[in-house]
Every structure is written in C-alpha cells, then in structure tokens.
Amino acid sequence: MDGIVPPQFTADEAFFDFVLSAAATTWPDLKAKTDRNEPLSPFSVPDVKITISVDNTYEPLTTLLTRNVVGMVEGSDPRLKDTYVLFGAHLDHVGYATTDQDAKGRVNTPIAEDKIWNGADDDGTGTTAEMAIAKAFATGPKPKRSVVFVWHAGEEADLYGSRYNADFPIVPIEKIQCQLNIDMIGRNRDNDPAQANNVFVIGADRISTDLHNVIVDTNATLAVPLKLDYEYNDPNDPNSFYTRSDHYSYASKGIPIAFFFTGTHPDYHANSDSVEKILFDKQAHVAQLVYQTGFAVANSERTLERDNKGARTGRGWAGRIK
C-alpha cells in the first residue's frame, strides 16, 4: 500500500468491448489472437480516458514481517556485468497447524500428532539447490553477466516475496535476462519410479523461444540428459502451475522465465513432506541443469530474444522449437 504500483484490474466482456471499440485491435480481434496463441503486441487506445479511484484506507489487524534473501556474484565482463540472470526458490512453507483444522482448512494429516510442516520437497529442495548453484558460481568459473540469487519469502501466501522483488527489483528490471525458478525438485511425481529421470519444465517458451532452446541444448550436454517434460506447460492443463510459483511474478513483467519442477505427490502440502523421502541424486541432477542453463545465458554475449509467442510445447513435446 505504500508503494506506487500501476493498478491491474479485471473487467467483464462488455467493458473491454466498449473500451476497445474504436481501437485498431478490437476486443474480438484480441480474443481470437489469444485463442490462436499468436503474439500480442502492445497497442495504444486513442481517445480513451480511464479514471481509476483507489480507496487505500485500511486498518492493519496484525503485521507480520519477512524478508527475501538475496546474493549476487558479479559477472566477469566489464560491459555485460550490469545485466543479470536471476535464480529463485522460496524459503517459506505453509507453517504449522495448531488445531485440527487451520484457517485455510488444512489439517494435520497424514500424521495426526505432528504439527510441524517440514516442507522438505516444497521448497527445501529448491532453496538448497539454489545454495549449491550460488556456491558453484561463487567458487567456480564466472560468466560474463552477473548472477543473482533470491530466496523468496511468502510464496505460499500468494507469491508475496517474488511480487515484491518484481515490483521493487534488487537490480534494474530491464537488465534481467531471465529468471529460473526451482520449486520442488526432489521427488518423483506420485512416487512413480518411472519418473526417475523426469523434470517438468514450465513456461520457458512463452516469452522466449530462445530460452526454451537454451534449456534443450544445455540438457543435451549433461552426462545423463534429463527427460524434459512439458505436460504442465499446456495452457489447458487444469493445474495451472504456470501461475502458481514465483517465476510468475517475473513473467508478469515480461521477463523470460523457466520453472523446474518434479511434480506433486501424496506428501505435497502435508506434514509428511519430510527429508528422508528426498531423492538427493535427482535433486542434484536437476540443479546441475539449472546451473548450466543459467551459466549459458549469463555467459552469452547475445541478449536472450523475447518473441512472446506463447505456449507451444505440451505433453509429448521433445526438443527445440524452430
């Protein structure tokens, strides 16, 4: 409430029909383009003035403070080091349940007597992978561009930490090449052993075809390439994982993102998400891919291209996009 952030608002069909009625792109045109997954370029709407009145009077009932944790390793190129590759994971989890059922309807299950929700996979695996990646950059070879590590607060509370860093970025937002988000990379989906070599990659192609292709090319250089699975990148997938973790705050600002994820399981958001269930070799394998992808982007002279062509990969997709 204290920061000046452009308001975002939703409205019904009649509103947009009216507002865009005299524009070069009308509301039906815009919807048709979206349906065809075509790129949407910005356009201005002449002779339209919209006044938004925001009533920002409020009364705090409780105040809870938290912080993002940020680190940076400076790039080696004097010209490119003021451009950045961001890595992210979230350091919060869903806390603990003090009664049989908390305000969000969560119950202590499946372990009735255990009030602590450990969050080993969600997102202990992402935060520790990010520490390992940060250590590799701090102690190993330095890419041309700088690399920034953000351990976001409040992800589970609706992406608070990443929204804060997207609205008030720690480095100039226009200098960010991409953001690579790691949230849950230490299990097999539904404990299925057939998923052992599988990682879901979500969102990479939507803003930058280039980023999708860098991930594919980087994966091919690993001693054992992972199976890159795009099932959850399908905009029609009912899980909507694309909007559900920190990368989305950056994607909303037009920054190319990729979300690395190994899927949910019966311990997801339950007090049974504990450390002895983590597949550390798999976690390290995915972390290696994220590290090398970030290194490739950060060490390239070329700016990652933003072509905003939307989601094109989905279930069964393999390889580059031409």
Task: Please identify, using beta-carbon distances, which residue of 230 and 261 lies nearer to Zn ion.
Answer: 261
Strand partners, 71: 149
CB 159, CB 235: distance < 8 Å: no
Least distance (Å) from Zn ion to the CB of residue 163? 15
Least distance (Å) from Zn ion to the CB of residue 301? 34
Task: Please identify, using beta-carbon distances, which residue of 210 and 246 lies nearer to Zn ion.
Answer: 246
124-128-131-132 Cα dihedral, nearest 10 degrees: -160
Task: Please identify, using beta-carbon distances, which residue of 125 and 218 lies nearer to Zn ion.
Answer: 125
Rounded to 5°, angle at Cα 288 from 285 and 291: 155
Q: Which residue has the tokens 């969102």?
A: 203
Task: Please identify, using beta-carbon distances, which residue of 123 and 130 lies nearer to Zn ion.
Answer: 123
Q: Which two tokens stand for residue 4?
A: 């000046």
Q: How far apart are CA 249 and CA 183, in angstroms?
A: 14
Q: How far apart are CA 162 and CA 144, in angstroms?
A: 25
Least distance (Å) from Zn ion to the CB of residue 110? 19
Q: How far apart are CA 20 and CA 30, in angstroms?
A: 10
* Terminal Cα-to-Cα distance of the chain (whole angstroms): 44
Q: Which two tokens stand for residue 148?
A: 């920034």
Least distance (Å) from Zn ion to the CB of residue 126? 7
- Contact residues for Zn ion, defined by CB under 5 A: 122-123, 183
Task: Please identify, using beta-carbon distances, which residue of 183 and 205 lies nearer to Zn ion.
Answer: 183
Least distance (Å) from Zn ion to the CB of residue 147? 22
Task: Please identify, using beta-carbon distances, which residue of 83 and 195 lies nearer to Zn ion.
Answer: 195
3-state helix, strand, coil in the chain (%, to 5): 30, 15, 55
Least distance (Å) from Zn ion to the CB of residue 123? 4
